[in-house]
Amino acid sequence: MKRLCSALLAAALALSLLAACGHSSGGPGEEPAGSTQETDISQEEGTAAALGSLKSFTAGTLDGKTFTQEDIQARDVTIVNFWALTCPPCIAEMPDLAAFARALPDNVQVITVCLDGFGSEELVREVMSTAEFQGVTLISGDGDLGALCGNLMYTPTTVLADAEGNLAGDAIIGGQRDLSETLLTAVNQVLKGAGKDEISLEGA
């Protein structure tokens, strides 16, 4: 009986990690509307460019600073992970995302956007601290960032921006079986397309 319970728990966890939560339109800092809904979607068809760009925006960070398109321009590739406090798969993958971010070279960065974090900063800090995420987390934003958030349908959604703020490749939707490998492949595709050297993870 114990083995059966353990197997069922493992299966439930695996399903939650590979699911995505429905997201109502609206940018970070806006009140979330409606409840989340789990789906089996793991990869959006088409390209991330259909969601918008990150060429002009101003955003507020979890630590009270400002993040703009100039911070995107400072790196060859910026990985942007959109998540929500109400999305269990988002929180479940955060430690893996944090570990991936720590292993990246300086020309690539990971930022997160918490879509329902404005007004719940302490809870966001708790999630990020538990995951050991050391990068930038945005909790409000306007311009291209606000428009992009309004075009999202599911969380987690991860997109990659080049140094000009163009979104490249496919949007990565839902929990991934091997998040590190998925993101590394996507990053190297963007770098290759820009004529830059591919990367490997530090310590890998």
Q: Which one, of 112, 89, 111, lies nearest residue 177 by Cα?
A: 89
Are the beta carbons of 111 and 104 closer than 8 angstroms?
no
Q: At a CB cut-off of 8 Å and minimum separation 6, what does 187 contact?
A: 77, 79, 108, 160, 199
Whether the Cβ atoms of residue 173 and residue 43 lie closer than 8 Å to each other:
yes
Instruction: Please list, residue by residue across 146-165, b when 16 or more beta carbons sit within 10 angstroms of its beta carbon and e when fewer do.
Output: bbbbeebbbbbbbbbbbbeb
Whether this prediction's pTM lies above 0.85 is answered by no
What is the pLDDT tens value at each position of the chain, 204 positions in all? 434 333 333 333 333 344 568 654 455 654 333 333 333 333 333 469 999 999 999 999 999 999 999 999 999 999 999 999 999 999 999 999 999 999 999 999 999 999 999 999 999 999 999 999 999 999 999 999 999 999 999 999 999 999 999 999 999 999 899 999 999 999 999 999 999 999 999 765
Residue pair 115/62 in contact (Cβ under 8 Å)? The answer is no
* 136-141 vs 108-114, strand pairing mode: parallel
Contacts of 62 (CB under 8 A, 6+ apart): 114, 117, 121, 124, 125, 128, 136, 137, 138, 139
Token pair 């728990």 in the structure block, residue: 9
